[in-house]
């Protein structure tokens, strides 16, 4: 397929960007029929910027500290995103609460990855909360973004068993491994039209893969 026909991805990140890296790798190895057109970060020290540079991906820093309120930051962010003409806007560790207006503007094209089996543990410290609760399973969820944080329709979950000797650090690392397989898979499904916002809303049980990436709950037919 010609480059011009590839799905255009914009990634929003605030920090390390290991999920951004996993998506870059999937694009470069053609496992994902998509093109990374822009990285946007809101922090000048985000390591994701170096990853973009290394791979020749354009990047833009929109520092939230330069804006008086959420509305003006989100307006600048939306303008930058629109200029890149993305098909999908991918939040990968983007540590900003977005205004309802921003989320509605990109509804159905804006996705996020969260380190828990949503609806369990929205918000922070998900690994510690899963361990404290004595859960047997933990995981990550890729979902469409809606105005309520971490509550939009799930696209796919990656599940793993919590081990007896897991602590927050080991669990975090293993969840990252799951995320790096899960995010490219979810984007592949979106690009191929296997799932969209409406179908995701109708899933009574989110599609899911296990820690090895094997599909254990399929997408709706």
Tokens representing 218 are 């399929």
Q: Is there binding between residue 86 and ligand GRF (CB under 6 A)?
A: no
Rounded distance between C-alpha atoms, residue 33 and residue 99, angstroms: 31
120-to-40, 159, 219 alpha-carbon distances in Å = 28, 13, 20
Radius of gyration of the chain (CA): 17
Beta strand spans in 4-120 (E) = 7-13, 34-41, 59-61, 88-91, 110-114
Q: Is there binding between residue 74 and ligand GRF (CB under 6 A)?
A: no
> Residue 64 catalytic?
no
Q: Is there binding between residue 18 and ligand GRF (CB under 6 A)?
A: yes
Q: Which of 55, 114, 127, 176 is catalytic?
A: 114
> Which residue's Cβ has the minimum distance to ligand GRF?
93
Indicate which single residue of 93, 153, 154, 184 sits in contact with ligand GRF (rule: CB under 6 A).
93
Closer of 86 and 139 to ligand GRF (Cβ)? 139
Closer of 50 and 198 to ligand GRF (Cβ)? 50
Under the phi-then-psi rule, with left for phi > 0, alpha for psi from -120 to 50, and beta for the rest, what region is 155?
alpha
Q: Is there binding between residue 113 and ligand GRF (CB under 6 A)?
A: yes
> Residue 56 Cβ, how far from ligand GRF at the closest point, in Å?
20
The set of catalytic residues is: 114
Q: Which residues bind ligand GRF (CB under 6 A)?
A: 13, 15-19, 92-93, 113-115, 140, 179
């Amino acid at each position: 397929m010609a480059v011009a026909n590839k799905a255009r991805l914009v990634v929003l990140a605030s920090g390390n960007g290991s999920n951004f890296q996993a998506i870059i790798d999937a694009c470069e190895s053609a496992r994902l029929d998509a093109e990374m057109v822009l990285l946007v970060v809101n922090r000048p020290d985000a390591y994701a910027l170096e990853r973009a540079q290394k791979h020749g991906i354009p990047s833009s820093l929109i520092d939230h500290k330069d804006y008086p309120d959420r509305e003006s930051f989100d307006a600048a962010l939306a303008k930058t995103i629109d200029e890149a003409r993305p098909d999908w806007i991918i939040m990968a560790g983007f540590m900003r609460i977005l205004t309802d207006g921003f989320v509605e503007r990109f509804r159905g094209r804006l996705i996020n990855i969260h380190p828990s089996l949503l609806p369990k543990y929205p918000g922070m410290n998900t690994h510690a909360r899963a361990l404290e609760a004595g859960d047997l399973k933990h995981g990550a969820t890729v979902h469409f973004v809606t105005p309520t944080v971490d509550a939009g329709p799930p696209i796919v979950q990656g599940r793993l068993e919590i081990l007896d000797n897991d602590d927050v650090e080991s669990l975090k690392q293993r969840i990252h491994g799951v995320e790096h397989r899960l995010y490219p898979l979810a984007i592949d499904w979106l690009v191929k039209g296997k799932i969209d916002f409406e179908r995701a809303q109708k899933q009574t049980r989110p599609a899911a893969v296990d820690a090895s990436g094997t599909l254990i709950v399929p997408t709706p037919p």
